[in-house]
Every structure is written in structure tokens, then in C-alpha cells.
Structure 1
Amino acid sequence: MRDYQIDMHLNTERKQKPAFDQLQFGRNFTDHMFIMDYSSEEGWYDPRIVPYQPVTLDPAAMIFHYGQTVFEGLKAYLSKEQQILLFRPSKNMARLNRSNERLCIPKIDEAFALHALKQLLIVEKDWIPTSEGTSLYIRPFIISTEPYIGVAPSNSYRFMIILSPVGAYYKEGINPVKISVEQEYVRAVQGGTGNAKTAGNYAGSLKAQEMANVDGYSQVLWLDGKEKKYIEEVGSMNVFFKIKGEVITPALNGSILDGVTRDSIIQLLNYWNLPLVEKKISMEEIDQAHKDGHLEEAFGTGTAAVISPIGELFWKGEKLSINNGETGPLSRKLYETITGIQTGTLEDPFGWRIEVASEVVNN
């Protein structure tokens, strides 16, 4: 870890906190944020924790014109013993650097970034909600800041971390959601940026999501960009299917995001000795399994929702009801196990849960 010194500029007056048992997702933000800058001459420099504030940029800043940006998402929890807990944060920092590489953004020092996050969490500890289903959402992100109208990697960047106390991502909670299978638009293609967490992937998904919402569906199921045949993701989540006792998830192929929750689910299923296959799977196979009565469960996985059971798929004018539109036993067990590990109420045989020390230090 680089020997950086984090400057602290803390607010003397704090915001009024929202009611933690009535939180929406991503609407409230804490008192402070972390910032660090980059220049091609100095590298990453000037790490600081400052009051949460607007970002001022030149109108020609390259982020506005060419979208050179990456981000991550993870959560913090507060145990019954008032200990700050993180869930596999090193995986997020490593993936941030993989996204950086794809977007031609200079890599960060992963160990220092995690250290800086921990310091910010200690400062904002009283923002971590403890009501059931709540957490403190963490959004690290990097934007290109050089004022230049030219298609090239920027020479300057800003790395920031902001925090948001959140409730459930879907208002349905652990209850099943209805999903429309998208047949016109695509999320990503192999060779593109689908396996990076970058803003353009999500901007490009909004039209299909908007259309699905109008028809009463929570999200869309994305098919591959070449043949529009093979299943890739559901909304911004990885997806799993349970067919005749076997769990199937699309194999990583360069256009599917390598989800931290996805990896955790795979490890849990292996730990429980449940049949698991990572492979290409077509929507036709899912439809046939449904017709044969073999499609037992389907669910999305991601940081925000953890587990989102799928109760219905709409495809080619037909509604495929899954498990009578109810949450399946495997979906519920996975949700309860992962959230139990995350919040410290269950044992952690994998060493995923990280405890954050209680004192602020500078390196």
C-alpha cells in the first residue's frame, strides 16, 4: 500500500438523518465523501475526506463528452455489537481496476482505496442503518476531468467514494418480480464493455427498462447481442435458473459482468454440494423446461438486491409463471445465508466478512 496521508476536513454541523425504517434506495447521502485526484505528472495524489458537496468541472471535461468513467457498488453493515462490517470489499476494488484497464483509466492502489473507504466509514458510522433489510450503500467511482474535446484517454481523473443509507432495492423486497425478455435491444456484446462497470452500459439499458416498466414489469432479461438467443443478465444483475434440481447460470463470456454476489452464490452452492453448471443457456431451453414442468426457480443476484426471485417471464407474448409466482426455497435460503453473513448473524466459513477497526488512522 502506498504511503499516502489522508487529509480530514470534517463538517461541524451534520445533516438531519432520514427515518432509517423508511429508506428508499439511493436518495439520501451522508455528511462526507472521499476524493483523490490523478494527473499524468503526479499520479494519484491528495487523498482527502471532505464534506459532501457538488463537484465543479470544466464544461469541456472529457467525462461529459466521451463517458470515460467506472464505478463500483458494495455495502456496509452494523452488527449487534456495533461493529462496522464489509462483505468481500477486496473483490470490488479488484474489479474496479479491471474496469479501469478496459476504459484506459490509471489503476488505483487497491489496498489504499480500501483503507480510505474504511476511514470514511468510521467517520460516518452513525449513518449505517440497522433496520431489517437496510444497509449503507457504498459507491466508489472515477471520472475523467481533463478539459479537452478530443477522443483520447484523459490525462486527469478524480476518484470519489460517496455513501448512501438504503432500504430494499426493489419495493417487492424478497418477493418475486416480473421480468420481460428483451428481444429488440441488447445490453452488451463480446468485445465491448459489458464486463466492465461503466456508465454507458447502464445508459444503454434504460430504453428497454422503461418500456418494460410501462407494461408492468420490473426489469428486462437480456439476451446475447449477436444471436439474441442466449441469456446473459437480468436488469443489472446476474441470473440463475434451477431446472430439475440443477442450478444453471450463464458462463462469463466477456459481455457478462463478473458479479461479487454471483461468485458468492457459486461458492455457497458448491459448499452445499448442490449441482451447479456455468454454461450458455438459451431462452428456448428455459421455455421448454417451463413447458415440461422442470423450471423450479429463477433469480437475479447483485449487490443492491442480493437475491431477487423471478416469479414470471414474459417472452414472445406468453407469460411463464415460475414456482406459482412465489419465492422458492433455494432463493430464500441463499438470501438468508448471504445477508446473515453480511450482517454478522451467521457464521462465515469463507472469510468473506471484514470487520472495520474503530479508530481513524492516516496510513
Structure 2
Amino acid sequence: MSFLLRVYVRLVAADWQGGLVMLMLSLNSTLSIFILILLGCLLSFAGLMRRGADEILSDYVFYVALPVEIFLTTLKSDYTPGVDINAYVQAYGLGIFILWVLIFIIYRIYLKKSLVEVGLNFIAIGQTNTAFLAVPVFILLLGDSALVVPIIIFQSVVLTSVAIFVMETSSFSKAGSSGAFLKRALLVVFKNPLIISALTGSLISQIKLSHMIDTDFFIIESMEMIADTAAPIALIALGASFYAGRVASTMKNDCNEIVLGVLIKNFLHPAISFVVGQYFLGLSGLLLFALILISAMPSPKNTFIFAQTYGVSVQKFNLILLATTGVSFFVVNVAGYFFLPDVV
């Protein structure tokens, strides 16, 4: 009821000027993000980027720029008093649990999909694009990506491992399958440079070594220069990968499933997060907005890698990634219009 009242106050009786200012702020930030995605797509379409250039840029971002950016963020992170990070992560985790139960019911029970496809949908529409989109969005809207870091760790360590477990259950009857799963899950965790950099930065921050590091030291300055390239190159690489993964018009059979994925990822996930965050965990202000914002992010970019590995339609999951990215522009700005005034 309070949400409906909030909508009424904003749209009918409220301060239109303040709302428009927040909307323009949100649009100004998100438009620059999606223009860079479009630029990457256009560069690839015009042939100004060689084939495979999106993979090279993505590798640079994933293995160099983003780990440095996350390391510096966690090293310097200093949450304001009253910000309960544990409640924020718990709200995200509870929202994901509810979302995954619904995904299992829809895809396994109703659509009769295999456990491999159910596990892939746990990743594609049950997780968020943290590294390549959430980081730039949070930096532009909130000033830094500190609130993205715990979600990156939670997704990579917990959610991806569970999704792999679901996809691997069909092979558990084979000898050594349990050991193979554990090995695969551990490799996913420990080969992820984002997790390593986040844990390293957090450790140094906790033992107060960060106070011994001179921020004007040339190594730190060099790292900051590298970190500054993470967001723009990530967005250009994301746009280039869309064109590189273009699909033919033969996807009509998967159209309904793609639309369903967009509805779940872009609309149902943020709605669940809002209800869980505000009414179950009592979040408000910055943390509630960050929770809705992270939930409104599109599908993870690595979905197509798992689709290739498990022999499931790569084209379908590329289209889900593309569609959820486009729709997220609308959802992020709506979230900014309603919730950003409570933050700034």
C-alpha cells in the first residue's frame, strides 16, 4: 500500500520539479552508459573492430582493469555509519532464493526443461551483470562501486556454484562425478580474478594496512589510471559482443521464452527485491536503492560461455542478454526516479 501511495504522490500530487531533476540525473548517467554500449556495437558493425576484438577487450577488463578497480574500491571502502551491509546482502540472497524457486517451477515443472537449462536460467535470469554493467552504473549514480563488490563475491562463490551443481546433477551417476563437480566449482571460484582482488582488498583494509599506503605513490596512481579504464572499455566490449553474437531470424520458436526471461529478469527480480528489502529486512535510502538497482541489471555476460560448455542454444541466451540489457535502461531510470531522491 505504501508503494502505491508513493507512486500516487510522485505522479499526481507531488513535487514534479524535484522528480524531474532526479529523472534527468538518472537519464544523464544511464544514457552515457548505453551510448558506450551502442558505440561498441556500431564499431563492430562498421568493421572498425576486428573479429574477436570484443573478446580481447573483455579479457582485459575481466583480468586486469576490473580486478584493479575492485581491489582499490575494497581497499578504500568506508561505509557510512548505519549502513548495514549484512542486511543488504541478506536481502539480495533472500530475493534470489524466491526468484530461483519461481524459475524452477516455471522452467522445470511447467515448461519441462532439462536440469541443464534450469541451471542456465538460474544464471541468465536469476543473477545480474555485476562486472560489465553494475560497476559503471553504480560509479555514475552513487559515486563508487563498493556496494557491487559483496554481490560479486556472493554470486561467484555461492550462486554460480549452486547453478553448476544443478547442471551437473544429471552426470552424478557416473564414477567420480561428485569429485568432478567439486573441482569445477572450486575452479570457478579461485580462477575468478574479481573474487581474488575483492578478498585481497578487503583483507588489507581489515588489517589496516591501507593506512600505510601512500595514495600519491606512483604504483597506486598507475592502478587508479588502469581502474578508470574498466567502465568505458567494459561497456564498449559489451556492445561489440552483441553484434558479434548476432542471430538469424530463425529464433521464432524461442521468442516466448526470451520474452519470459526479460519479464522475470527486468521486472520480477527488482519487484521481489523491493518487497524483501523494505518489508522483510527494513532497508531504506541508499541500501534499498542499491538493492533495487543491482536487481535491475541485465543477464550476466558469461551466460553464453556456460551455454557453449553445456551444449545449449547460445543464440537464445545471447538474445536474452541483449534484450535484458536494453530493457534495463528503462527499469534503471524508473528506479532512479522513485528512489534516488531518498539517497541524495
Greater per-residue helix proportion? 2
Greater per-residue strand proportion? 1
Q: TM-score, normalised to structure 2's length?
A: 0.29
Q: TM-score, normalised to structure 1's length?
A: 0.27
